[in-house]
């Protein structure tokens, strides 16, 4: 059964589908999660603390997914391709994760800063880590690569960076300028051709005599 903390984070994430972060009220989140406002404040301290926890959970859930994919009984290059495919698909569906991976935050999303120096630590242990603030894109990519272990870390980083280049690639220009304001088509899952290209690059590198990525 989900804890009150997880239920509140789920409610906050769900609220972001149709409202900007600035328009979300703590009282509404408490009501949606069926907990008291005092419980909400006990867990997160403030709306900014809730934002930090929400962003941290997105990063942690993504990394856990990467670990699961890398542990599958398959050739290393196939697992790395699975990480790339999942990164694109996950980023397309989860705007907070997309912002974490690319640094492209907007006014609709929570973009929390770390707890100010000298501030009192949160009484809830899970919140203390969240209060460190969200990882920068480079830090998250590095943490993702570390999930693969020393031997395949460089290959994992390459897979993720190729995936992110697909996430942030601009749309092909069209004759209608207003179409450029829409979400890029590159946020959709990768095409089979791009997947095969990544797999070919990784297979060449991971089967080279050096057994390591450059």
In whole angstroms, give the CA distance from residue 72 to residue 198.
18
Q: Which helix (H) or strand (E) is 192 found in, with range?
A: helix 192-206
pLDDT more than 90, % of the chain = 46
Per-residue pLDDT tens for 161-208? 988 988 887 445 444 444 333 333 444 455 566 667 666 766 665 555
- 28 pLDDT tier (thresholds 50, 70, 90): very high
Q: 4-13, 52-61, 141-150, 156-165: which range is least confident on average? A: 156-165
Lowest mean pLDDT among 7-16, 17-26, 66-75, 108-117: 108-117
- Would you state the pLDDT for residue 52? 94
CA-to-CA dists, residue 129 to 27, 66, 119, 161, 173, angstroms: 24, 20, 14, 26, 43
- Residue 29 CB contacts under 8 Å (≥ 6 apart), including other chains: 8, 11, 12, 15, 40, 50
Burial class, 88, CB count within 10 angstroms (exposed 0-12 / middle 13-18 / buried 19+): buried
Q: What secondary structure letter does DSSP report for 191?
A: P
The whole model's pTM is what?
0.81
From first CA to last CA, the distance across the chain in angstroms is: 45
- Confirm if 55 and 96 have CB atoms less than 8 A apart: yes
pLDDT tens, position by position, 52-97: 999 999 999 999 999 999 999 988 888 888 898 899 889 988 999 9
């Amino acid at each position: 059964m989900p804890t009150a903390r997880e239920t509140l984070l789920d409610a906050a994430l769900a609220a972001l589908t149709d409202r900007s972060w600035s328009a979300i009220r703590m009282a509404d989140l408490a009501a949606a999660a069926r907990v008291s406002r005092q419980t909400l404040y006990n867990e997160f301290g403030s709306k900014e603390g809730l934002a930090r926890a929400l962003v941290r959970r997105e990063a942690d859930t993504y990394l856990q997914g990467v670990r699961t994919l890398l542990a599958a009984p398959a050739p290393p290059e196939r697992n790395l391709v699975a990480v790339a495919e999942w990164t694109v698909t996950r980023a397309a569906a989860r705007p907070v994760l997309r912002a974490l991976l690319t640094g492209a935050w907007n006014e609709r999303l929570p973009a929390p800063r770390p707890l100010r120096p000298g501030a009192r630590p949160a009484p809830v242990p899970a919140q203390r880590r969240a209060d460190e603030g969200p990882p920068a894109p480079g830090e998250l990519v590095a943490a993702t690569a570390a999930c693969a272990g020393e031997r395949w870390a460089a290959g994992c980083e390459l897979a993720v960076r190729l995936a992110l280049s697909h996430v942030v690639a601009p749309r092909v220009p069209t004759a209608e300028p207003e179409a450029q304001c829409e979400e890029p088509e590159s946020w959709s899952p990768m095409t089979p051709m791009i997947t095969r290209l990544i797999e070919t690059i990784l297979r060449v590198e991971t089967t080279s005599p050096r057994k390591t990525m450059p």
